[in-house]
Amino acid sequence: MDALGVVVNPIAGMGGRVGLKGTDGQLEEARNRGAQPRAPTRARTALRSLFDREPELAVYTAGGVMGEAAAREAGYEPTVVYEPAEATPESPAESGTSAADTRNAVRAFLERGVDLVLFVGGDGTAVDVATALEDADEAETTPMLGVPAGVKIYSSVFGVTPTDAGRIAAEFDRVESREVTDIDEVAYREGDVRTTLQAVVSVPVAPAVQSSKQVTSGSVETLASGVAREIESGRTYVFGPGSTVGAIESELGIDPAPLGVDVWRDDEILVRDGAEADVLAALEEPVTVVVSPIGGQGFVFGRGNHQISPAVLECADDVEIVATDEKLADLDVLRVDTDSDAIDEELRGWTQVRTGRFTTKLVKIV
């Protein structure tokens, strides 16, 4: 690879920890809740991983927080080929950049003949990049690769972690067709998952490119019953999103937030569909976090449950992972991407996953 185009959606993922399940149409509310940007940090991580391997690479980017700042911090001297109206490096959370800026930046990259478009964001950003490639008839010839920074990441065009994305960008030698899928965020906030195939694009081939999210439909009744019968009095339980964990909550008499995070202790729901701050305020040791991996991807933390942040995990003395055998059958390993290297490293290794009333399965977290 001789030339790379880099574009960053500086507000991607801001809605996660404050409980908004996304940022589309919710940016002002996310700011009001004190949300902090995560995309610029993840962009720097990916680009540093790339710089370690390809320091002489020609990098084209958009100005300010849309790529220039992260590229310079990673060690590159990028060429700015598109200037958004509002993208100052000093205030990514206040950036006024838009989907149109992303598309315009990608078009500028294509005019320079880049070999890969590396973008930082979520599914919405992936759609914007794919749209620009399709408009220029480049969807099959110029590959794209995502650095995961959004709340919901269903598309199969992202590196598993920012570091993986940088390594893949440096080392790939072939591409394959992958799906770009987006979700209706309004319906998602109401607990209804509606995904739509938006595009098919070329993506570098590598084991560390995540699969698209899959939903399994196997029975979870016995699993839920098994967890519920072992609930301890005096212990605080943080229940993650998803139907598997929701079945456990229902077994306990809780009306679960289908795609949110709940906190429960001694037959009392303390927080329903809470943000990170709400969860932290309700914690009282001892603490168990109950989560289920995302089907098809295997993420335990870092996709769709940002409210269970490193700060929350530091308060927990126990993490219980639950999944049906059917879901695990499609997963070689489980994954974590919490924004904390120390927490990720602590979670990695072999772990017991609860699969039924009395059964567990040993699965590796990587």
What pLDDT score was predicted for residue 96?
64
Residue 78's alpha-carbon distances to 19, 89, 302, 322, 354, in angstroms, are 35, 14, 29, 45, 48
The rounded distance, in Å, linking the Cα atoms of 225 and 227 is 6
All residues at 6 or more sequence positions from 273 whose CB lies less than 8 Å from its CB, including other chains: 19, 257, 260, 261, 262
What pLDDT score was predicted for residue 186?
55
Integer-rounded Cα Rg, in Å, for the chain is 20
Mean pLDDT to the nearest integer, 116-135: 94
Q: Which of 12-16, 42-46, 59-63, 145-149 has the lowest mean pLDDT?
A: 12-16
What pLDDT score was predicted for residue 328?
87
Mean pLDDT to the nearest integer, 56-74: 96
What pLDDT score was predicted for residue 142?
95
The rounded distance, in Å, linking the Cα atoms of 241 and 68 is 35
The rounded distance, in Å, linking the Cα atoms of 363 and 325 is 11
Nearest to 362 by CA among 349, 354, 351: 351
What pLDDT score was predicted for residue 218?
39
- Does pLDDT of 83 surpass 80? yes
Nearest to 114 by CA among 87, 135, 133: 133
Mean pLDDT to the nearest integer, 270-292: 94
Question: What end-to-end distance do the CA atoms of the chain give, in Å?
Answer: 28
335-347: pLDDT as tens digits:
999 999 999 999 9
Average pLDDT over the chain reads: 86
167-219: pLDDT as tens digits:
999 999 999 888 888 776 555 555 555 667 788 899 998 876 766 655 443 35
4-53: pLDDT as tens digits:
999 999 887 665 554 555 555 555 554 556 556 788 999 999 999 999 99
DSSP state at residue 293: P
Mean pLDDT to the nearest integer, 236-255: 93
The rounded distance, in Å, linking the Cα atoms of 41 and 46 is 9
CB 41, CB 10: distance < 8 Å: no
